[in-house]
Amino acid sequence: MRNVILVTGGAGFIGSNFILQQMQGGDDSNLIINLDKLTYAGNLQNLASIATNRRYEFVHGDIGDRDLVRPLLEKHKPRAIVHFAAESHVDRSIRGPEDFIRTNVDGTFALLEETRAYWNALPEGERTKFRLLHVSTDEVFGSLGPGDSQFSETTPYAPNSPYAASKAASDHLVRAYHHTYGLPTLTTNCSNNYGRFQFPEKLIPLTILNARDGKPLPLYGDGKNVRDWLYVEDHCEAIATVLRDGRPGETYNIGGWNEKPNIEIVETICDLVDEMAPRVGGRRRALITFVKDRPGHDRRYAMDARKIERELGWKPKATFESGIRKTVRWYLENDEWVRNVTSGSYRQWVATHYSS
Ligand code: NAD
Ligand code: DAU
C-alpha cells in the first residue's frame, strides 16, 4: 500500500519548498499529489526537478471544486492532507477581499467536507492514522505592542486584515471539524517566512529585486513594524514534524525567535546586494523610500514557539544571517525564474499598488 500525501497549493512558495524537501527522503512507497489551481502565485517551474518523478503527481484544480476533490481522494486514498492552498498576500486582500473568502474560507470548507466524507468511509485502522494538517498564520492573533508577550496557542484570535480574517475563519472551521466530527486535524500557525520561490510582491523578494535593479525600496509608514522571520526550510521541517508526531485537535505555533523591524530587514538586504552585486551608482540604502502605510497595518507579530519545541522537539536551525544570505544569493542567481514571474500581471500589480 502506498503512503500517499495530498498537498494543496504545492506550487506556491512554501508548498513547493515542502514538496521538494519531502521528495529528498522516503522511497517508492511514497507518493505526493499536488493539487494546485495555479493562480498568479503558483509556479510549476519551482517543481521542474521532480516533474517526471514517479513519486510525484500534479493535479491542476481548485480546492473548492468538490467534484474534482472527491474522486481524487477516492482514487489515491491519501493517509494525510497538507493544506497550504490560499490567497496569501495582505495588500491584495485589502484591494480585493473576494478571492480570499472564496479560497481561504469556502475552499477550505469544501475540502473539509470532502475530507470528512472520505475519512468516514475509511476502514477503522486507516481512520485512526489519517491526518489533515492545516497551514495557518500568526496574523490571526492580531497586533502586539512593543512590550506585549508573544502570541501563544491560547492567545485569542483578533484578525485585522481581510486575509487574516479569512485565515482565522478557516482555522475555526478546522477546529470545529475536529471537535464536532472527530476529524483528526492539526493546525500550525507560523510567522513570516522567507527563502527561494517567494513571489516578489512580499517584502523580502521585492526588496532584493528592486535593490538589484536600482529601483526605490518602498517601506510602509515609519518602517518600524516588526515581524518574526523564519527560513522557509525550517517551516517545512516543522510541518513534517507536526504531521508525524502532532496530537490531533492541537494547534502549534511556529516561529523563528527572530523579531526584526522592517527597516532593519531592508538595510540588511541592501548591504548584501551591495556586497554580491556592487553598484556604480552608490549604496543601495539610498534607495529606501517611505511610502503611505498599509491600512490597518499590524504593528508587531511575535511567536512563542515553545510548545512545538517542548512537545515535538522542533526548533529553527537557520540563523537569520545564514538564511537571508542564501535567499539574496538565490534571487540574484535565478534570473530566469525572476523574469518568468515578473512579467505581465506582476508589472500591473506593482504599477497599481505603488503608483501613489
Ligand atoms: P503562495 O501565495 O505563495 O502560494 C499559494 C498557492 O496556493 C499557489 O500555488 C496557488 O496557485 C495555490 N492556490 C490558491 N488558490 C487555490 C485554490 N483555490 N485551489 C488550489 N490551489 C490554490 O502562499 P505561501 O506563502 O506559500 O503560503 C502557503 C500557506 O502558508 C498559506 O495558507 C498561507 O496562509 C500560509 N502561511 C504563509 C506564510 C508566509 O510567510 N508566506 C506564513 C505563515 C503561513
Ligand atoms: O506573518 C505571516 C504572514 O506573513 C503570512 O500569513 C502571509 O501570507 C505573508 O504574506 C506575510 O504577511 P506580511 O503582510 O507580514 O508580509 P509582507 O511581505 O507583505 O510584509 C512584511 C512587512 O513589510 C509588513 O510589515 C509590511 C511591510 N512592507 C511590505 C511590502 C510589500 C513594506 O514596508 N513595503 C512593501 O512594499
Question: So what's the pLDDT on residue 229?
Answer: 98
Distances 222 to 292, 294, 297 between C-alpha atoms, Å: 9, 11, 11
Cβ count within 10 A of residue 110: 19
d(CA 7, CA 319): 28
For the question of residue 57 being annotated catalytic, the response is: no
Burial of 128 (0-12, 13-18, 19+ CB in 10 A): exposed
Alpha helices in the chain, H assignment, sequence order: 13-24, 66-76, 90-95, 98-100, 108-120, 124-129, 162-181, 203-213, 232-245, 262-276, 306-312, 320-333, 335-341, 344-353
Rg (CA), the chain: 20
Class of domain 3-195+231-257+297-316+344-353 as given by CATH: alpha beta
pLDDT exceeds cutoff 70 at 356: no
Q: What is the pLDDT of residue 195?
A: 98
Of the pLDDT bands very low, low, confident and very high (cuts 50, 70, 90), residue 18 is: very high
Q: Report which DSSP code applies to 247.
A: P
d(CA 292, CA 297): 11
Encode pLDDT of 75-122 as tens digits: 999 999 999 999 999 999 999 999 999 999 999 999 999 999 999 999
* Contact between residue 59 and residue 52 where contact means Cβ atoms under 8 Å apart: no
Q: Determine the pLDDT at residue 1.
A: 65
Alpha-carbon distance of 280 to 70, in angstroms, equals 57
* Mean pLDDT of all residues in 347-351: 90
* pLDDT computed for residue 147 by the predictor: 95
Instruction: Ligand 1, residue 40: give the atom nearest the CA.
Output: 11
Residue 150, pLDDT score: 98
Q: For residue 285, what are the CA distances in angstroms to 21, 31, 150, 292? A: 34, 46, 30, 19
Q: CA angle, 61 as apex, 56 and 65 as ends, to 5°?
A: 130
Give 136's strand partners: 189
pLDDT of residue 312: 98
DSSP lists the bridge partners of residue 303 as: 151
Q: Which three cell numbers stand for residue 111?
A: 475540502
In this prediction, residues 273-277 reach a mean pLDDT of 97
Name residues contacting ligand 1 (CB within 6 A). 8-9, 11-15, 35-39, 41-42, 62-64, 84-86, 88, 103, 107, 135-137, 167, 190, 192-193, 199
Query: How many Å lie between the centroid of ligand 2 and the Cα of residue 249?
Result: 29
Cα 280 to its chain centre, rounded Å, is 36
Asked whether 301 lines ligand 2 (CB < 6 A), one says yes
Where in the chain are the domains?
Answer: 3-195+231-257+297-316+344-353
Q: How confident is the model at residue 280 (pLDDT cuts 50, 70, 90)?
A: confident
Q: How far is the CA of 179 from the centre of ligand 2 (A)?
A: 32
Give the per-residue pLDDT at 281: 85
Share of the chain above pLDDT 70, in %: 99
Residue 209 CB-density burial (10 A; 0-12 exposed, 13-18 middle, 19+ buried)? middle
pTM given for the model: 0.98
Q: Are the beta carbons of 315 and 253 closer than 8 angstroms?
A: no
- For the ranges 81-95, 229-243, 333-347, the lowest mean pLDDT is seen at 333-347
Proximal ligand: closest to the CA of 216: 2
pLDDT digits (tens, 9 = 90+) for 175-209: 999 999 999 999 999 999 999 999 999 999 999 99
The model's pLDDT over 299-326, given as tens digits with 9 standing for 90+, comes to 999 999 999 999 999 999 999 999 999 9
| C-alpha cell recorded at residue 319 | 540563523
